[in-house]
Structure 1
Amino acid sequence: MSGLQHNGDHLTGIVNHPEEKQGPNTSNINPEISASKRMLSPEDISLLFFKREVNYSCYLICSVFFCVFGNSFLYGYNIGDVNNPAKIIQMFYHDVLDERAGIQEMDDNSTVVTYGGNSTANMTIPIKRSEMNYLNYEAPDNVEWLWSITVAIFVLFGMIGAFASGAWADYFGRKRGMILITFIMFVAAIFGGIPKVTRSFEVLIVHRALVGLHCGLNVSLASLYLAEISPKKIRGAIGTCHQLFITVGILWSNIMGVSKLFGTKELWEWVFIFNAFPALVCLIGLPFCPESPRYLLIKKNEEEEARDALRKLRGYFDVEDEIDEMKVEARRSQSVESFTLKQLLTTVDLRWPVIIACVLQISQQWSGINAVMSFSSFMYKNAGVELTVVEWVVCLTSLINVVTTLIAVPLMEKAGRRPLLLYPMVCMVVSFIALTIFHNLQYEESLQGSRGIFAVVAIIAMHTYVVGFALGLGPIPFIVVGEIFRQEPRAAAMSLSLTFNWVCNFILNLIFRFMQKAMLGYVYLPFIVILIGAIVFIFFKVPETKNRTFDEIAATITRGRKAKAPFDDLGEEMQKMNS
């Protein structure tokens, strides 16, 4: 007979196998750890994983904070930092182009619209650009193209960073990889602070390219690190912290860019200089945090270092249950070399996990979220919102995004991944349908008296869309991609899926402003079609991953939904290791 005894915050094994021989693979296990002195049955392993209480150690909390503040936060910040000050920076671009062409400041035509009774009077008043209220500025096509490139190059270099992130994570490690990329952000902050001094918009484009490279690397590194240091019971909640800090970064960038703070002709460069601060915090704090134990044991074969890191993260001494589970994974991966892209795409067992990972990332971007976050000021203006309140509505959108993501953290472990993907995505579809209807009603001359009502409905619809995204399609793709692969292909798979994420983001950011001008109120229809297709795919193909080991999830996808019961494979492997 063997049993388990609950002892404080963890479980210890009671050994009643005096006749059993010690297996050859257990000689290097700490003899003080009772759980490793006997052969573990599948039932015992199940108890170890599911009944162990979660201990929120200081190392775990600090590791999560420094990871998400120095990486996830910066990703979100650089999605939103070009939003509120967009027109001011476009005016700077226009000025620089005129200076280079030797053109004196020209009189731009500003259209002032006044309302009197039931009639509308349009007056075109010549006014110098330097004296113009930036809210009334309309950029010419050449400036629009330059601005679209400025926004989209962030995504292009993010794609490059994402593609290299798998090799970077495996070569330098998760923690050291995040530390090294902080220096990219310091250089980026310098370029972001000198456009007016150099009278060059090109340096701002270089800034956007560098922060894109950093964010492409940091999204993958942060997702891997969080997935691999998290206790299984709260893996979803900790993974959601990644998306939470992305939303906090978007909110903070929108606040920094309002006209009452740094969104002015004199101070807008400080919006970009700020990038250095979170990077500095990460550089100072992260070296004191443990490396990913799974990386240390499975990738580097450093068992003692992995055990020490795990003890710091868990806050208790007996971590042999997790060490044993990692050993099983390491044993399975011993015959497999580091995964290349070709291996990832040609391994039959990984075909569906790769498809699921890529479809989730494509759906996340082509649901339209970054068009909303990067161009929401233009979208609200087109939807009839008053120009003077647009920047505050943009901040409200970001605030709702943060609050909803906070709600999603506890929901992640209660409701599961699949429900939080499917139901909020239906809400997103309904929101875009409502936005399409009421946006088009803005153009009906007979309904001009109701424009204010239509604008309010458009704001509500946009915010319900953001709520739906923040609950599901925002955080869950990053979590699921980290969960559906075993250790050996995980970094390569994360890299590939995030490359799809960035490619889709780049395409959308480059063309969205021109989609708006061409499609007007029907600009949301492509997103509706993509969301409906994603809902169907997720319903039929994406498994639930809550409270399951990495091996079990991978086995479920490979074999179909009727996979072996939890821990069957793990128990079999442990018996082999201890026999």
Structure 2
Amino acid sequence: MTSYGKQTVTVEEQKGHSLTLALMVASTAVGGTVQYGYNLAITNAPTVYIQKFINETFQERWGVHLEVYKVTLIWTFIVSGFSLGGLIGALLAGPMSIHFGRKKTLLLNNIFLMSSALLAVTSRTARSFEMIMISRFLVGINAGVSMNVQPMYFGESAPKHLRGAVSLSSAVFTSFGVVLGQVVGLRELLGCESCWQYLLASNAVPGFIQLFTLPWFPESPRYLLIDCGDKDGCLKALRQLRGREVRTDELDEILQEQDEAQGKRTQQPWDLISDCSVRWQLISIAIISSAMQLCGNDSIYFYASYIFQEAGISAEHIQYVTIGTGACEFTACILCNLLIEQQGRRMLLVGGYALMTCCAAIFTVALSFQDVVSWMPYMSMVCVFTYILSFGMGPAGVTGILPTEIFNHTARPSAYMIAGSLMWLNLFIMGMIFPFLVNGLGQFCFMPFGVVCLLTAVYVGLVLPETKGKTLSTITNEFRTLNFHKQESTEPKSKQAHDQLSVVFHSIAL
């Protein structure tokens, strides 16, 4: 048995409420970041069939047979619609999470998803490729909102010693969504010509699971106390997530954050940009969020098929080997989840980007000698898997945690808006320029990615402080030396009022 103040908690109760937290995470993620990974993957299998459908539609309407490049251009707009929708979703995430709360935003977000699925499943009958385009845009909005709000909800609901692992589960579920999308997209399942419309609409299933399960779990305790002023609701949420074990140090941390946010309005993105006290926090999330896409990890998925073909794998088996790339990132994210509270955030980021830099260099050499040395294609395959593994063990998981840990409650929604917008914007840019990089640079096409990884590793190693197990005040104090070039106390000015409120809050909790 464990005692905290007047409370006595059995080991069984602790396990039971750890299970509650785990179920909350699963319920949130299945309709959240799973959608991002899933919708990235499911468009690969039906590419040829949808392009054929586009051509047939033009012939039926106007009697025009499109040239290949015109079909490819329309397909590019369909694919890029997902990124543009994600950018809009990232911009909506901040206002929605403030106005509706974290949990309700995630539930309302399914409106975009269900509308997208309805358009996708009826597009073939309606003979409209425009419906597919709108469908991808709407599901992009859904992914953009969930990619921002979910890590915020997790970071504000998890205890400090599990904050990193719980927040990192967003990346685990994203990679799981990629694998799931690759499996469902197999020709033997929904990746065949007769079923592509059902494949595009299958993302509604995880959405329904979330709609039926998430209402049973509480809102973010920090949102309830700081934004809504609901002390009783905050305590009820904490008890539901922790059991009867409501630790005084956790209450103190929430109260301190409330005290620091008292009298301050929620900051808008332009407020953060002009605020000198968060200058380096903002620079850090801008660089690290941009590097997530500019490192080329998503692009390497598209290049993988060519590499596997050059390695001698038959065309009919490439789809199964490609699943291995998604499974590789999924495994790496799980390992990162186990290591993050031991190794810390900075170590995983620096190590991940440093390994990716090495892989990009070796990959370039392997591509250069692929036609000369017989075993070089297999070296390319090793580089693909190692690159993805390095990404999954560091950048994929840690990046989404940082805004929660380095920004206070009033700045956090806007920080996620900025980080998410940069991520989606760079994803769109990479999707548009990657074919030109391959054509223009040839075997050197991954050198720019290697440079991005190297510069990001150097920046993180020199600038970003470690946030593992630290309170927001401690982290803010470390950034203060960068922002103002001197050490200043972060002791709350209203310390006496905070202590009085703490006594009242603890008495209610006990």
Q: Given the two structures, how large is their TM-score scaled by the length of structure 1?
A: 0.80
User: Is 2:295 aligned against 1:367?
Assistant: yes
Q: C-alpha offsets along residues 394-452 of structure 1, whole Å, 9 cap, x if unaligned? A: 1010011111111111101011111111112111112122222222333x4xx3x82xx
Which residue matches 1:220?
148
The CA distance in 1 between the partners of 2:348 and 2:165, in whole Å, is: 13
1:342–1:335 distance in 2 versus 1, CA, 3 Å: same
1:571–1:318 distance in 2 versus 1, CA, 3 Å: farther
Which residue matches 1:16?
none
1:396–1:461 distance in 2 versus 1, CA, 3 Å: same
Gapped runs of 5+ residues in structure 1? 1-7, 13-31, 35-52, 107-138
Q: Is the 8 A contact 1:59 1:290 kept in 2?
A: no
The CA distance in 2 between the partners of 1:424 and 1:341, in whole Å, is: 29
Report the alpha carbon displacement of residue 175 of structure 1 after superposing the two structures with TM: 0.3
- The 10-residue stretch of structure 1 (310-319 or 540-549) with the greater mean CA deviation from structure 2: 310-319
User: Is 2:457 aligned against 1:464?
Assistant: no
Letter in 2 for 1:102: G
Report the alpha carbon displacement of residue 57 of structure 1 after superposing the two structures with TM: 2.9
1:552–1:511 distance in 2 versus 1, CA, 3 Å: same
Q: Is the 8 A contact 1:365 1:501 kept in 2?
A: yes
Which residue matches 1:284?
212
Q: C-alpha offsets along residues 379-406 of structure 1, whole Å, 9 cap, x if unaligned? A: 6457775422221121010011111111
Which residue matches 2:456?
534
| Structure 2 residue corresponding to 1:390, chosen from 318, 324, 334 | 318
User: Is 2:112 aligned against 1:184?
Assistant: yes
User: Is 2:439 aligned against 1:517?
Assistant: yes
1:474–1:533 distance in 2 versus 1, CA, 3 Å: same
Alignment of 1:264-303 (within 5 A): 264-303=192-231
Which residue matches 2:28?
67
| Structure 2 residue corresponding to 1:88, chosen from 49, 56, 60 | 49
User: Is 2:431 aligned against 1:478?
Assistant: no
The CA distance in 1 between the partners of 2:105 and 2:36, in whole Å, is: 16
Q: Is the 8 A contact 1:297 1:303 kept in 2?
A: yes
Letter in 1 for 2:32: N
Q: Secondary structure at the match of 2:193?
A: coil
Which residue matches 1:312?
240
Report the alpha carbon displacement of residue 181 of structure 1 after superposing the two structures with TM: 0.8
| Structure 2 residue corresponding to 1:433, chosen from 340, 361, 383 | 361
1:429–1:84 distance in 2 versus 1, CA, 3 Å: farther
Q: Specify which structure has the higher proportion of strand.
A: 1
1:358–1:292 distance in 2 versus 1, CA, 3 Å: same
The CA distance in 1 between the partners of 2:280 and 2:295, in whole Å, is: 22
1:485–1:382 distance in 2 versus 1, CA, 3 Å: farther
Q: Is the 8 A contact 1:367 1:531 kept in 2?
A: yes
Report the alpha carbon displacement of residue 88 of structure 1 after superposing the two structures with TM: 3.0
| Structure 2 residue corresponding to 1:11, chosen from 4, 13, 16 | 4
- The 10-residue stretch of structure 1 (352-361 or 80-89) with the greater mean CA deviation from structure 2: 80-89
1:431–1:317 distance in 2 versus 1, CA, 3 Å: closer
The CA distance in 2 between the partners of 1:141 and 1:577, in whole Å, is: 68
Q: C-alpha offsets along residues 132-190 of structure 1, whole Å, 9 cap, x if unaligned? A: xxxxxxx8222222222221110111011101211110000000010111121111111
Q: C-alpha offsets along residues 14-66 of structure 1, whole Å, 9 cap, x if unaligned? A: xxxxxxxxxxxxxxxxxx789xxxxxxxxxxxxxxxxxx89743431221111
Q: Is the 8 A contact 1:57 1:312 kept in 2?
A: no
Q: Is the 8 A contact 2:81 2:140 kept in 1?
A: yes
Letter in 2 for 1:411: L
Q: C-alpha offsets along residues 225-263 of structure 1, whole Å, 9 cap, x if unaligned? A: 000001110111111110000000000101111222221
Letter in 1 for 2:389: V
- The 10-residue stretch of structure 1 (93-102 or 533-542) with the greater mean CA deviation from structure 2: 93-102
User: Is 2:415 aligned against 1:454?
Assistant: no
User: Is 2:466 aligned against 1:544?
Assistant: yes
RMSD, aligned α-carbons:
2.6
- The 10-residue stretch of structure 1 (379-388 or 248-257) with the greater mean CA deviation from structure 2: 379-388
**Larger Rg computed on CA atoms:** 1
1:347–1:10 distance in 2 versus 1, CA, 3 Å: farther
Letter in 1 for 2:44: N
User: Is 2:327 aligned against 1:334?
Assistant: no
Gapped runs of 5+ residues in structure 2? 9-13, 504-510
Q: C-alpha offsets along residues 200-235 of structure 1, whole Å, 9 cap, x if unaligned? A: 222111111011000111111101000000111011
Q: Secondary structure at the match of 1:474?
A: helix
Report the alpha carbon displacement of residue 520 of structure 1 after superposing the two structures with TM: 2.6
Report the alpha carbon displacement of residue 317 of structure 1 after superposing the two structures with TM: 4.5
Q: C-alpha offsets along residues 277-306 of structure 1, whole Å, 9 cap, x if unaligned? A: 110011111111000000010111111111
Count the aligned residue pairs: 495
User: Percent same amino acid at aligned positions?
Assistant: 26
The CA distance in 2 between the partners of 1:381 and 1:92, in whole Å, is: 27
User: Is 2:310 aligned against 1:347?
Assistant: no
1:488–1:92 distance in 2 versus 1, CA, 3 Å: same
Q: C-alpha offsets along residues 64-94 of structure 1, whole Å, 9 cap, x if unaligned? A: 1111111011111011111233233333333
Letter in 2 for 1:504: N
Q: Specify which structure has the higher proportion of helix.
A: 2
Q: C-alpha offsets along residues 333-389 of structure 1, whole Å, 9 cap, x if unaligned? A: 112111112211111111111110111100111011222345643564577754222
User: Is 2:18 aligned against 1:57?
Assistant: yes
Which residue matches 1:325?
253
Which residue matches 1:195?
123
Q: Secondary structure at the match of 2:400?
A: helix
- The 10-residue stretch of structure 1 (195-204 or 88-97) with the greater mean CA deviation from structure 2: 88-97
The CA distance in 1 between the partners of 2:129 and 2:313, in whole Å, is: 30
Letter in 2 for 1:543: P
Q: Is the 8 A contact 2:167 2:400 kept in 1?
A: yes
The CA distance in 1 between the partners of 2:303 and 2:417, in whole Å, is: 27
- The 10-residue stretch of structure 1 (339-348 or 356-365) with the greater mean CA deviation from structure 2: 339-348
Q: Is the 8 A contact 2:259 2:492 kept in 1?
A: no
Report the alpha carbon displacement of residue 323 of structure 1 after superposing the two structures with TM: 2.6
User: Is 2:81 aligned against 1:102?
Assistant: no
- The 10-residue stretch of structure 1 (139-148 or 488-497) with the greater mean CA deviation from structure 2: 139-148
The CA distance in 1 between the partners of 2:459 and 2:108, in whole Å, is: 38
Q: Secondary structure at the match of 1:548?
A: coil
Q: Secondary structure at the match of 1:266?
A: helix
